[in-house]
Structure 1
Amino acid sequence: MILIFWLLLVNCIGAFVTIHDKHAAQRGAWRVPEKTLFALCILGGCPGVYLTMRTIHHKTKHRRFMIGIPLIFAVQLALFAWLCYQHTPVLL
């Protein structure tokens, strides 16, 4: 239950930060560092950041984001699947 709450929270924060950065870019204001967006992804916010980027067309021309974020998400999913496999009793 805590994991689900965490993932919802970090994805909402990731979406909010991505939207904020888009508005800051349009106004020429202070921008969110790229490290922050990647940190949110590493903390579990990949779906929120990536879907928001695609929806509002922010940083979609940056290969680092368009390849890096899905790659981080794929690694996280693989790790999650491996952990589930390791903790599932084998029925004979």
Structure 2
Amino acid sequence: MKSSLRSGKLTKWKDERGFGFIQPVDGSQEVFLHISEVKDATRRPQENDTIYYHCVVDLDGKVRACNAFILGARNKSASLNSRTKPSDAIVSSFPIVEVILLSLLPLVGAIHFTWTTRNPLPLLLYPVMSLVTYFLYADDKSRAKRKDWRTPERTLHLCELVGGWLGGFIAQRVLRHKSQKESYQVEFWAIVIIHYLAWLFWLLLGRTLWV
């Protein structure tokens, strides 16, 4: 059961691992905080931040913070819309324009490849792997909240490389997962660039080489 709203100072924070500890204002035992429980933040937590949070007790008796926010770094527009239905939130956060723009070149390339080679594999692989990758992101975020074993990042990147990068992009925007970790983003966009270069090569030279 969640406690009433509490506050404390973030005395320890390991940004690369996404967790830290809050020292409550009443001087009681430190409370564990995971980045997935920081809501509507305009930036990532930093040491000495004042954190407002609720407490929950895990089955193993450990106390952790949930539904936390950073004093002075809360997205006001998001907090005003906190009563929005989850389905409405997903729809409103879906990056329609970005998805269309990002998928335009691969779609044209895949259609051209299918027409030229009579092989529909890319047209089938992109949507299938995007769905697989999206659900892997969702499962990994759920595991993070439960503090369970995580899906290895190399597995996510492998699925993106095979064709699921668009599903990964959608998951990053809709689920707000893996979108703040710089090292992950570097590898992710490198994979996107590889796909773009491959389709540019095909559209410019592939047909000539095929013939």
Note whether the superposition's TM-score is higher than 0.5. yes
| Residue 29 (1) aligns with residue 148 (2) | yes
Cα distance in 2 for partners of 1:55, 1:65 equals 17
Partner of 2:70: none
Amino acid at match of 1:20: D
The amino acid that maps onto 2:153 is E
Task: Tell me the alpha carbon deviations over residues 39-66 of structure 1, each in whole angstroms, 9 at most, x when there is no partner.
Answer: 0111111111122012111122211222
C-alpha displacement at 1:19, in angstroms? 0.4
Secondary structure (helix, strand or coil) at the match of 1:60 reads: coil
2:169 is aligned with 1:44: no
- How far residue 88 of structure 1 moved from its aligned partner, in angstroms, is 3.9
Larger deviation, residues 70-79 vs 15-24: 70-79
| Local SS of the residue matching 1:64 | helix
Structure 2 distance, partners of 1:46, 1:85, is 23
Structure 1: distance between partners of 2:128 and 2:158? 14
Structure with the bigger RCO (C-alpha within 8 Å, sep 6+) is 1
CA RMSD of aligned residues (A): 1.3
TM-score with structure 2 setting the length: 0.40
1:2 matched residue in structure 2: 121
Q: Partner of 1:66: helix, strand, or coil?
A: helix
**Larger strand fraction of residues:** 2
Map of 1:8-87 to 2, 5 A cutoff?
8-87=127-206
Radius of gyration: which is bigger? 2
* Unmatched tracts of structure 1, length 5 or more: none
Rounded Cα–Cα distance in structure 1 between residues aligned with 2:206 and 2:146 = 49
SS of the residue aligned with 1:32? coil
| 1:24, distance to aligned residue in structure 2 (A) | 0.5
Give the Å deviation of 1:2. Answer: 2.3
Q: For this pair of structures, how many residues does the alignment match?
A: 89
SS in 2 for 1:87: helix
Q: What's the CA shift for 1:86?
A: 0.9
**1:19 aligned partner, one-letter code:** A
Which has the larger share of helix? 1
